[in-house]
Amino acid sequence: MSRRPYVREVPRTTWFFKHPRYMRYMAREVTCIFIGIYTVILLVGLARLSEGPAQYEGFLEALRQPGSVLFHLLALAFSLYNTFTWFNVAPKALPVQVGDEHWPDSVVSGGHYVVWVGLSLFIRFWAGVL
């Protein structure tokens, strides 16, 4: 004879519409679709770069398609959302304890934001854009 524990019915595919918190969770999860596709685009760019100037020029040409611009805008929005969520949980993931005290959450996530802005400016500068 088996025990029959109570199992709460949860709709498999629509559960996250039930609460804004679940929606925010899913928004963060789907960032992986955009960042994943973008990573494949970078990989294709690397492949074309290794094949020669004409092939790489073809890759840049493909980047200039209207669909590519639209994808970049969407992907950038999701990617920024991923960055914000990542930095905002950083105090939980990397608590910094000095003596008996923990650094305040704002210091830990604030530090991430400062490093992020600095690094982004540095990469832009390196790429010749400022």
- The pair phi, psi for residue 8, each rounded to 5°, is -75, 135
DSSP code of residue 104: P
d(CA 77, CA 130): 21
- Cβ count within 10 A of residue 108: 19
Nearest distance from C-beta of residue 36 to another protein, angstroms? 4
DSSP code of residue 64: T
- Binder among 27, 105, 111, 116 for another protein (CB under 8 A): 116
Residue span 20-49 as binding mask against another protein, x where in contact by CB under 8 A, dash where not:
------x--xxxxx-xx-xxxxxx--xx-x
Closest to another protein by CB, 41 vs 103, is: 41
Q: Which of 18, 16, 34 is nearest to 26 (CA)?
A: 16
Contact 125, 111 (CB under 8 A): no
Closest to another protein by CB, 83 vs 103, is: 83
Residues within the interface to another protein (CB under 8 A): 12-13, 16, 26, 29-33, 35-36, 38-43, 46-47, 49-51, 53, 56-57, 60, 63-65, 68-69, 72-73, 75-76, 79-80, 82-83, 86-87, 93, 112, 115-116, 119-120, 123-124, 126-129
